[in-house]
Amino acid sequence: MRNWMKRGMALVLTGMIVLSGMGTTVMQVWATENGNDAGSEQPGEGEPQTKASSSENGEDESQRPPTDSQMEIAKSDIAAYANNLIISHNLTGSDKQKIVDMLNEAQQKISKDYNHANGYGEMQNYVKNVENMMDAVVASIPSSTSEFLSLADTYQTPTVKYGQAVTIVLPVINLSPAALSDVMIKPHISNLVAEWPFEPSSAGATRTILSFPPYDNQRNLEEVRQDISFNFVVRSDVKSGYYPLKFDVTYTRNGTVETAELTTYVKTIGTAESGSLDGDAMGDNTQKSKPRIIVTGFETNPAQVLAGETFVLTIHVKNTSKSSSVTNVLFDMQAKEEGKDADSTFAAFLPTSGSSSVYVDTIAPGASKDLVIEMSAKSDLSQKPYVLDVNMKYDAKDAIDLTDTASVSIPIYQEQRCETGDAEVMPMDITVGGQTNIMFDVYNTGKTTLYNVWVKFEGDSITGGDSFLGTIPSGVTGSVDAMVTGAAPTMDDGKIKAVISFENESGVVTTIEKELELFVSEEMMGDFSDEMMGMEGDMIGMEEMTGGGNKFILPIVIVVIVLVIVAVIVVVRIRKKKKEQAELAADLSALDDTDGIDRR
């Protein structure tokens, strides 16, 4: 990483020299891809380079003004380069904005500053220098070897000067679904001035975070970050340039002690006598940079991968070298192991063919390839992203068995499942204006949480009963206890619906329906009551007239009540029988219509 950083800063200085006119161009433009023979050998990095493009009459094309088409191609090339950097390094926030600002400035400059003699060659050199400066921006971004601990993108690279007392603040965030405890962060110190910019004696004590809450996608990461401060004194002989600052981290997660490394950067200003880190890198002519293969993106088919499903993974890779091909490339895709201990670890993804390797014969300079592999996700995976490592082994012109590693995070989703228990409707027959109590259970049988659970009742004969159950975690039961009111007599088979709706983490609503049976009849008790009141009055009158007929009143009242109950039952049954006959007639009519169609 340090050597790569040095080379990046060296390229930035080269770009600054070219743009300011203070020096001569140190890099030349090679022949375009269409003009090169696919099998021709191109100069390696560090070797003298000569221009290869010329017009048909022998005139050097770089000495001519660029055409409109050439300027558009240059703008398109630099836009593609910026886009690849943003995607492959997952840039966000201020880091992404720096690349976008450099792109916008470069496209404006290409459009208006190079329409003159010698403009084509200057434009090509400018595009190359801007790409180098973009690389330097990416090189200065903080990184972490842990998939859980990381630095927030609000971190700004500080600038410090020799002999200065400084405070370095690390905005640490926890992306783990589990809480972390006993987090210990210690600077990785070196006595070498080229590796550590501060006085070793000023390193200070190890910093500790006693408790770090788990990742919550409902909260802003900036609200739960932990700012860790370190006080240093810059060495008097510090070199000018960008130093990587590495911090060793240990923490406890789910009862297991794990380690990681956080890396950030600091820009230093040293004395003229101390020199610069970039000067050291430029002076090292014995070590040549190797071609790099990066992952520029990926897709899955289907786009949303469910646990237990088989899916096709397509990974896009690119050879970032502008001059060297890579050959004999072997890619090996390995999912990071999950689990708490050695006996329960497992891989989240497995290749369906049994082989996780993909071989590519060669990748030309600047070319891209697609790696396609079919994989299956374990059925019991939790709903979260899982990391897949892409291990690379390849050969180049001046080296063999080069290695590199990249990673992609594949989100896995769990299907939401909801079931209901048997319903109790008490009573099952009510009159208009009357109420009944409906009770049943809602079970979350899936592996994800059900959010905003609502139960609403639908039917022409009822109103009310809406119930909000809120959030039901996986494996938990919610209970419905609602009162519905009869609104109109039942005119159908007495079926009403309980509609259960719930949301997933993305707010997508799912509904299921449950059928219940409830009959609503007309209110008839008022008429019978009046008649009973009249009959009771008559009987009272009779009692007064007879002067001693109390023993006959009670049997008469009982008989009247029984007659009223029988009348209600008969009316309900007659109405239900008429309804069934009407439905039978409708079915026979539909059958006749069907037979008529068949005869035709």
Per-position DSSP letters for 330-358, written without gaps between them: EEEEEEPEESSSTTT-EESEEETTS--EE
Residue 125: CB atoms within 10 Å:
20
For residues 184 and 274, state if they share a domain.
yes
Domain stops at, among 223, 251, 283: 283
Tokens 């161009």 found at: 25
For residues 298 and 377, state if they share a domain.
yes
Q: Does residue 600 belong to any structural domain of this protein?
A: no
Strand 477-486 to 435-444 pairing: antiparallel
Measure the CA–CA gap between 276 and 165, rounded to whole angstroms.
20
Q: What confidence score (pLDDT) does residue 525 get?
A: 52
For residues 328 and 401, state if they share a domain.
yes
Tokens linked to 292:
């790099």
Q: CB-based contacts of 431: which residues, under 8 Å, 6+ apart? A: 486, 520, 521, 522, 523, 524, 525
For residues 123 and 201, state if they share a domain.
no
From the centroid of its chain, how far is CA 507? 14
Q: Does residue 599 belong to any structural domain of this protein?
A: no
Q: 147: phi > 0 → left, psi -120 to 50 → alpha, else beta; which?
A: alpha
Give the domain range for residue 573: 525-590
Number of domains in the chain: 5
Shortest CA distance to 234 belongs to which of 245, 223, 218? 245
Domain stops at, among 361, 378, 409: 409
From the centroid of its chain, how far is CA 400? 37
For residues 217 and 311, state if they share a domain.
no
Q: What confidence score (pLDDT) does residue 58 get?
A: 46
For residues 478 and 516, state if they share a domain.
yes
Measure the CA–CA gap between 76 and 587, rounded to whole angstroms.
69
Q: Are 251 and 18 in contact (CB under 8 A)?
A: no
Q: Does residue 508 belong to any structural domain of this protein?
A: yes
Q: What confidence score (pLDDT) does residue 153 get?
A: 65
For residues 396 and 507, state if they share a domain.
no
For residues 223 and 106, state if they share a domain.
no
Q: 248: phi > 0 → left, psi -120 to 50 → alpha, else beta; which?
A: beta
For residues 67 and 151, state if they share a domain.
no
Measure the CA–CA gap between 334 and 185, rounded to whole angstroms.
29
- CATH number of the domain residue 155 falls in: 2.60.40.10
Tokens linked to 29:
């433009």
For residues 433 and 469, state if they share a domain.
yes
Q: Are 389 and 372 in contact (CB under 8 A)?
A: no
Residue 343 half-sphere exposure, CB side, CA atoms within 13 Å?
Answer: 0
For residues 221 and 193, state if they share a domain.
yes
| 446-472 CB burial, b ≥16 within 10 A, e <16 | bbbbbbebbbbbebebbeebebebeeb
Q: What confidence score (pLDDT) does residue 30 get?
A: 32
Position 253: which residue type?
Answer: R
For residues 444 and 363, state if they share a domain.
no
| Torsion 85-91-92-93 (CA) sign | negative
Q: Are 151 and 213 in contact (CB under 8 A)?
A: no
Measure the CA–CA gap between 219 and 236, rounded to whole angstroms.
44
Q: Does residue 598 belong to any structural domain of this protein?
A: no
End-to-end Cα spacing for the chain: 83
Q: Does residue 595 belong to any structural domain of this protein?
A: no
Q: Does residue 505 belong to any structural domain of this protein?
A: yes
Q: Does residue 221 belong to any structural domain of this protein?
A: yes
| 164-202 CB burial, b ≥16 within 10 A, e <16 | eebebebbbbbebebebeebebbbebeeebbebbbbeee
Q: Does residue 288 belong to any structural domain of this protein?
A: no
* pLDDT tens track, the chain, 600 positions: 444 444 444 444 434 433 333 333 333 333 333 333 333 334 443 333 433 344 444 455 556 788 888 888 888 888 888 888 887 666 766 778 888 988 998 888 888 877 776 678 888 888 888 888 888 777 766 555 456 677 776 667 889 999 999 988 888 888 777 888 888 899 988 888 888 899 886 455 688 888 888 877 677 766 778 888 888 899 998 999 889 988 888 888 888 888 888 888 899 999 887 888 865 544 444 445 678 899 999 999 998 898 889 999 999 999 988 888 899 999 999 987 776 655 667 788 889 988 889 999 999 999 999 999 999 998 888 888 888 999 999 998 767 888 989 888 898 888 888 999 999 999 988 988 899 999 999 999 888 889 999 999 999 889 999 999 999 998 999 999 999 999 898 888 888 999 999 998 878 899 999 999 999 988 765 544 455 555 555 555 445 544 444 556 777 778 778 777 777 676 666 766 666 666 666 666 665 555 554 444
Domain stops at, among 258, 283, 308: 283
